[in-house]
Amino acid sequence: MKQGTKCIRAGYAPGNGEPRQVPIVQSTTFRYETSEDMGRLFDLEAEGYFYTRLQNPTCDLVAAKIAALEGGTAGMLTSSGQAANFFAVFNIATAGDHVVASSSIYGGTFNLFAVTMAKMGVEFTFISPDCTPDELEAAFKPNTKAVFGETIANPALTVLDIEKFATAAHAHGVPLIVDNTFPTPIMCRPIEWGADIVTHSTTKYMDGHSSALGGCIVDAGRFDWMAHAEKFPGLTTPDESYHGITYAERFGLEGAFITKATAQLMRDFGSMASPQNAYLLNLGLESLHVRMERHGESAQAIAEHLAAHPRVSWVSFPGLPGDKYHGLAEKYLPNGSCGVISFGVAGGRAAAECFMRNLKVAHIATHVADAATCCLHPASSTHRQMNDEQLAAAGVPADLVRLSVGLEDVSDLLADIDQALKPLSRI
């Protein structure tokens, strides 16, 4: 199946007379005839459901669709993108371990790694995605267990050289985890470039309609845990909390990572997606291929328009030929990147605030990747506690506006931007 067909058909194939749409199995619990039947499920000897905190049929069907889209062997849904990234890393790195991460990542993920997981004893080294192979090499330690990056970073819009990061990770016998939220598997499939684990905030383009928070983890099913058994005891030695199962032996390359994340982390942390949210996510996935194409086309047109506008001082968008990441985008994102653009309003903070006030179509929202165009001026909202110097140091200058281009008619969006920029010539 091609990607567009998978968006609609993968994961769920209704039989004769069965519902066309994925059924919402709104049940916490599943009934069995005998205790022995249920015992086989607990021993992971038979497949089936017993409690929705571990697995639910609706969630599994939707996870299978995302796994198919990414070209992986297994997937799991989580209640949020934050939970997906936490589980993806914590499944293999615990107290005393070390992880190499790109410094250009989502702020929520940075806090999770640098503050919360640090308190749990996992140490992170952050490295510029633009580092040389030697600099990357120098970031590894004997206890490094994973490498992490974002295909297109939110909100910096840096493009990750996936092959460079995968080569370094594999040379050290550890997997590369890539957060593929912004491009989605329609624009980039990191597994084809060497990523071993792919994560998503499905809250963004996959849902696409600002309706359901969610996350997903997909395993490429290629990383050989047993070949590096001493690094990954959680996968390669018996789990005493789960009937002495050794995940890598019992479930092989294709199933070990996700089975451990389900049987151990989901059981203990309980960050399960609700079946209702999985259903909403699946509705979004059915049109993902069509929507991503439009998000990409409209963003390209708007980025080009902004780049030529006298009231705009700079534009960051990997689809622009002059962009720092255009070369990497041509390699990894040949069909378009995503719908998010950052740009500077000439005249700095005051001009950017005025531009935001003038917008009539674009919503002011912290969200991105929605059918509705949304716009954020970090200096006067999310980052308002910082002064101009601090903002510049954080890579979020006071004139920066982040625009997430939605699915409205692009001529209405261009007209809205123009009318909002026009009065600024007087500032």
Q: How far is the CB of 202 from ligand PLP (least distance, A)?
A: 7
Question: Rounded to the nearest whole angstrom, what is the least distance from the CB of residue 354 to ligand PLP in the complex?
Answer: 28
Contact present, 275 and 26 (Cβ < 8 Å): yes
Binding mask 73-112 for ligand PLP (x = CB under 6 A): -------xxx--x--------------------x-xx---
Q: How far is the CB of 197 from ligand PLP (least distance, A)?
A: 14
Contact of 310 with 277, CB cutoff 8 Å = no
Which residue carries 């198919």 as its tokens?
Answer: 68
Give, as ranges, the residues between 1 and 40 that touch ligand PLP (CB under 6 A): none
Tokens of 346: 């000439």
Determine which residue in the list 213, 302, 362, 420 makes contact with ligand PLP, applying CB under 6 A: 213
Of positions 72, 75, 190, 215, contacts ligand PLP by CB under 6 A: 215
Angle between helices 275-286 and 57-70 (to 10 degrees): 30
Q: Which is nearer to ligand PLP, 197 or 248 (CB)?
A: 197
Q: Least separation, in Å, of the C-beta of 188 and ligand PLP? A: 13
Q: Please report whether residue 402 would count as binding ligand PLP according to CB under 6 A.
A: no
Residue 38 amino acid letter: M
Q: Which residues, 6 or more positions from 143, have their beta carbon under 8 angstroms from its beta carbon?
A: 96, 97, 98
In 3-state terms, what secondary structure has residue 145? strand
Does 181 engage in binding with ligand PLP (CB under 6 A)?
yes
Q: Considering the complex, what minimum distance in angstroms separates the CB of residue 150 from ligand PLP?
A: 5
Query: Which residue number places its CB atom closest to ligand PLP?
Result: 81
Residues with Cβ within 8 Å of residue 400, at least 6 apart in sequence: 342, 343, 344, 352, 377, 378, 379, 391
- Is residue 199 within 8 A of residue 154, CB to CB? The reply is no
154 binds ligand PLP (CB under 6 A): yes
What does the block give as tokens for 203? 């809250």
- 204 lies in the binding site for ligand PLP (CB under 6 A): yes
Site of tokens 């705009």: 312
Q: Does 203 bind ligand PLP (CB under 6 A)?
A: yes
Segment contacting ligand PLP by CB under 6 A, of 187-195, 198-206, 303-311, 325-333: 198-206
Strands (E), 221-350: 312-316, 340-345
Shortest Cβ 158–ligand PLP spacing (Å): 12
The first and second tokens of residue 92, run together, are 């293999």
Residues making contact with ligand PLP (CB under 6 A) = 80-82, 85, 106, 108-109, 150, 154, 179, 181, 201, 203-204, 213, 215
